[in-house]
Chain A
Amino acid sequence: MDNLVEIRGLRITFAGAVDVVTGLDLDIPAGKTLCLVGESGCGKSVTAKAILQVIDHPGRVSGGAINLRQANGDVLDIAATRPTSPVMRHVRGADIAMIHQEPMSFLSPLYTIGNQISEALTLHRKVSEKEARAEGIKMLEQVGMPDPERRYDSYTFQLSGGQRQRAMIAMALINQPRLLIADEPTTALDVTTQANILDLLAQLQRDSGMAVLFITHDLGVVAEIADEVAVMYLGKIVERGPVKEVLENPRHPYTRGLLASMPRLDGDFKAPLKAIPGMVPPPALRPTGCSFHPRCEWAVAGFCNTISVLETELGNDHMVACHAYGPQAGRIDRSAARATAAVAAIEKREESAEPLLSVRDLHKHFPIRAGFFQRQTGAVRAVNDISLDIYPGETLGLVGESGCGKSTLGQTIVGLHRADSGAIRFADGSHEPVDLLTARGATAKRLRTDIRMIFQDPTGSLNPRMRVRDIIGEVLQVNSRYSAGEIEARVQVLLSRVGLSPDYAERYPHAFSGGQRQRIAIARALASDPRLVIADEAVSALDVSVQTQIINMMKSLQAEMGLTYLFVSHDLGVIANISDRVAVMYAGRIVEIGSTEAIFRNPRHPYTEALLAAIPGRGVGKSTDRIRLGGHVPDPSRQVAGCAFADRCQYAQPACRAVMPPLDGTPDHRFACIRADELRLRTVTGKPEMVDA
């Protein structure tokens, strides 16, 4: 058998009766990377945990076999092994190791990372404490941890996100396992860090010849790292095959839907995305027949919803479980695609228009206090001398790594922070232009209804003790210009506007899914007829298909209501799709700002180039071609003389460190790099491509 693990008919049951995984068959080939793809709620993680028998109560493996080929050639059925038995304990960590999505919560903050890494070693090998330490440091070095000797004695909260993930990888690999299970290991990371971690995993896999089961929802990551792909929907594999086959020639409508809902970075960025309608139902409400049929555009009534699907081999190791390829394929018309909801084209802003919002020389510093008397010893320069304009009716995308100050900028505009200096001028055309920072009284009150915010986490930003009606209507109640009846009517209108049923007004937020909650948050932001909406990572916490639904909705709301968006995100694909113009932030400053086309097709700042290069899965050929950013955003409390990016820039010269580069260029495309004119930077498609200005 060429496969390291063969899973046959695996069934995982929760709380007695609900089958989360139903008869899953999956082979994990030795020495290759298999990607398991699907939306959240499909059973990917629980399948991975079943392989290690570490499913949390009340879940359990209730049927099937997980056959692991052991090093001596014997086959061990993990599903039939007691989870607490010594055999199972030996398999865990030694034969099969796992890394997880959130290293912050999967590593204990009470022990040093060195303690936790060497623990993995001493559990399986008799080594002295000193040897364990030496091995641990060696492993940290192998996973590219800077200064491993010192980091070995660090706690998780003293490390950056990327370093934590490296520590967890070191912990998993210290016993040289034959299978590494990676459960969304890069989802919580910045795009630049993600690129580095993916490179690291690929290299470690090549060097050690271990097999990798890589779980992700991001098809870009799949393209980057996979040898084979298995697409999972509601506890079953619906399509499986070599990565090239599945991504270039997807057969199952679910795979096609996932691919279509991914923002494109070649061709027309702004082409409307096709979202898979609806969402993954809870396993207890698994549809009959083919469980995908309620969301499928090919579904034939009386057939797909009654007869369960079988797997069909298509040749080239390509398997699909869909009636459209089965024995009765004739009954399904594969061209019968549902018309996508027309997304109204957004009119271009008039060139002469006055900006709705002009930010000038804005500063926001947070003091750092230390020492015995808590004196201010420095400042985090979160927003550092920022000037930008937002025109009525447009979307300005704000992008950058975490810690670059993009959220602080949004929060300062909306008034959650008090700026230290600078000006924010708001001119909505119907009132006198006002400065947000000096506005008081009635003007300030009006501004709070004109400028609204959507937050990243819809669970945290909706009060769980308030009904949806009160959540949405609160801003109207506070402004007391409306009667109760008017508010009620307006809430109903808003709910249907964001695609929710008006009866939902009486419910509480816990009754909704993440995507629905974000719709409620959007309805709340729109309740007061705002002019400017600041969306702070508004779709980052959502699944791909739901993300696409929300983006499409935000675009059509913008066209209908003439909204202006400041869209803050770390996801360049989303930014490319929704923005008219893009501002790239680094260390509290804007380093490049221009039209979306200009930023993606003709980047002039090396940081922009590096961000674009880090987007996974654009098939940028040889690894020598790659641009990878080492390190991370500089400590924002340190004042640097020259360009803040110089330490990570591959084109940096001594001159860069001497003076702060000004934001120059044409009025439509400005960039802060003194070498911009001599550099030929690569675009989003990886080729140096100059668009004539």
Chain B
Amino acid sequence: MGSFMLRRIIYVIPALIAVSLISFLVIAIPPGDFVTRTAELRAAQGDIMPIAEQEAMRRAYGLDLPIMVQYWNWISGVVLRGDFGYSFSFNLPVKDVIWPRLGLTVVLSVASLLFIWVVAIPIGIYSAVRRYSAGDYVATFLGFLGLAIPNFLLALAVMYVAFAWFGMNVGGLFSPEYLEAPWSWDRVLDLLNHLWLPMIVLGTAGTASVIRVIRANLMDELHKPYVTAARAKGKGEFGLLMKYPVRHALNPFVSGQNDIFVEIVSGGTIVAIVMGLQTTGPLLLDSLRTQDMYMAASFILMLSVLVVVGTLLSDLLLAWLDPRIRYQQG
């Protein structure tokens, strides 16, 4: 087990190096940079930016260096000093912009994932055990509905209902008075107050698919021989269900959870724009449009790190759950 874990953790290193390189190159290779973009914007306002000024600006930002040198400067800063470079459009160090956003993204994604589990696992188990019952059909119907409705549309509808009928302050993750406030207990409560709406919106599609996965996995396990054997020992039906088939059905489910997490992290952009959430999505989109390269590369890098770490966690969780993996790959 120790060797298995160590190997898995070490596998992460080359993955991260590749991810950082690719995320930087994706931003840096296409023609044009922040300076060209600025010049275009100024030109649109009728203000021609002289070539010499552009070159001076490039030199100032280090954009005239070869790409690999730029990469090296950036990544060595990230790794050695936690310095993600400078955001041209914000005129701030990237790390000052990125960390609060990333933190909120993680909080929202984890909350959505927990919401999915709490709702979907019991419904999935019920659906599998009472297959073809009225409850199963209702769950299946709602599940397909949840899969079919685009998230941003659901966001609009939910926001309208919350605002028009319940007079709630919707949009964003904070009330206006806490938006720029330092962290305090009241701010946390305010966050929780705003969190549940996007959490549900982001979680519906995942909930629907998890219900299907649990139902299908569990139906495969319900009539396995070891279930008969345990029933023949005299075990009661509920304890039997939880100890054997549900536990067995969890393994393939756990290995699939990372995909859902990735989907929530990266797929939430449109919802975040619609709901005005201070997560990474909208900012990443902006920085790509303005070619704010350190900002964009840093966002992509950190989101990829989240995904890689998520995969690692789900692998380790699976190994912890399943002795076959623990003992046979160690």
Taking Cβ atoms with an 8 Å cutoff, the residues of A that contact B are 49, 52, 54, 56-57, 84, 89-94, 97-98, 100, 102, 105-111, 116, 119-120, 123-124, 155, 157-158, 168, 171, 371-372
Contacts and interface: CB of A to CB of B under 8 A. Distances in A.
B247 interface: yes
A109 B225 contact: no
Contacts, number: 78
Contacts of B226: 105-108
Contacts of B230: 108, 116, 119
B324 A93 contact: no
A93 B225 contact: no
A89 B234 contact: yes
A98 B324 contact: no
Contacts of B231: 52, 54, 92
Contacts of A119: 230, 233, 235
Nearest to A94: B234
Nearest to A119: B233
Given A49-B228, A110-B322, A56 B223 contact: yes
Given A119-B235, A157-B324, A106 B3 contact: no
Contacts of B243: 111
A110 B248 contact: yes
B328 interface: yes
A158 B327 CA distance: 9
A372 B231 CA distance: 42
Given A56-B228, A105-B224, A108-B226, A120 B324 contact: no
Contacts of B232: 52, 54, 92-93, 97-98
Interface in B275-330: 321-324, 327-328
B323 A98 contact: no
A450 to B, nearest CB: 39
B225 A105 contact: yes
A171 B234 CA distance: 12
Contacts of B225: 100, 102, 105-106
Contacts of A57: 223
6 contacts: A49-B228, A97-B233, A100-B228, A108-B247, A124-B234, A372-B7
B6 interface: yes
Contact of A371 (B3, B228, B322): B3
B328 A98 contact: no
B96 interface: no
A578 to B, nearest CB: 33
Nearest to B233: A93
Contacts of A94: 234
A108 B223 contact: no
A98 B321 CA distance: 28
Interface in B190-231: 223-226, 228-231
A109 B324 contact: yes
Nearest to B248: A110
B328 A110 contact: no
B233 A171 contact: yes
B105 to A, nearest CB: 34
Contacts of A168: 229
Given A56-B223, A371-B3, A108 B248 contact: yes
A107 B230 CA distance: 8
A570 B243 CA distance: 37
B interface, over-half SS: helix
B50 interface: no
Contacts of B6: 372
Given A106-B226, A106-B228, A123 B248 contact: no
A92 B228 CA distance: 11
Nearest to B322: A110
A92 B224 contact: no
Given A56-B228, A105-B224, A107-B226, A92 B234 contact: yes
Contacts of A90: 234
B66 interface: no
B244 interface: yes
Given A92-B233, A108-B244, A110-B247, A157 B328 contact: yes
Interface in B1-35: 3, 6-7
Contacts of A171: 233
Nearest to A110: B247
A380 B125 CA distance: 43
A95 to B, nearest CB: 9
Interface in B244-274: 244, 247-248
A310 to B, nearest CB: 34
B234 A106 contact: no
B236 interface: yes
Contacts of A107: 226, 229
Contact of B323 (A54, A109, A372): A109
A120 B231 CA distance: 10
A283 to B, nearest CB: 19
A171 B6 CA distance: 37
Contacts of B64: none
A231 B324 CA distance: 41
A169 B231 CA distance: 16
B40 interface: no
The winner among B231, B233, B243 for most chain A CB atoms within 10 A is B233
Contact of B229 (A56, A84, A89, A106): A106
B55 interface: no
B53 interface: no
A168 B228 CA distance: 13
A52 B231 CA distance: 9
Contacts of A84: 237
Nearest to B237: A84
Contact of A98 (B7, B224, B229, B322): B229
Most A CB atoms within 10 A — which of B236, B247, B323? Answer: B323
B234 A93 contact: yes
Contacts of A108: 226, 230, 244, 247-248
B243 to A, nearest CB: 8
A215 to B, nearest CB: 14
Nearest to B131: A57
A123 B322 contact: no
A123 B224 contact: no
User: Among the interface residues B7, B232, B248, B322, which one has the most CB atoms of the partner chain A within 10 A?
Assistant: B232
B228 A372 contact: no
Nearest to B330: A370
Contacts of A93: 232-235
Contacts of A92: 231-234
Nearest to B229: A106
Nearest to A57: B223
A116 B243 CA distance: 11
Nearest to B321: A110
B238 to A, nearest CB: 10
Nearest to A372: B3
Contacts of A120: 233-234
Give the top 10 A-B pairs by smallest Cβ distance, nearest first. Answer: A93-B234, A92-B234, A93-B233, A106-B229, A105-B225, A106-B225, A108-B226, A120-B233, A98-B232, A89-B234
A119 B233 CA distance: 8
A171 B235 CA distance: 13
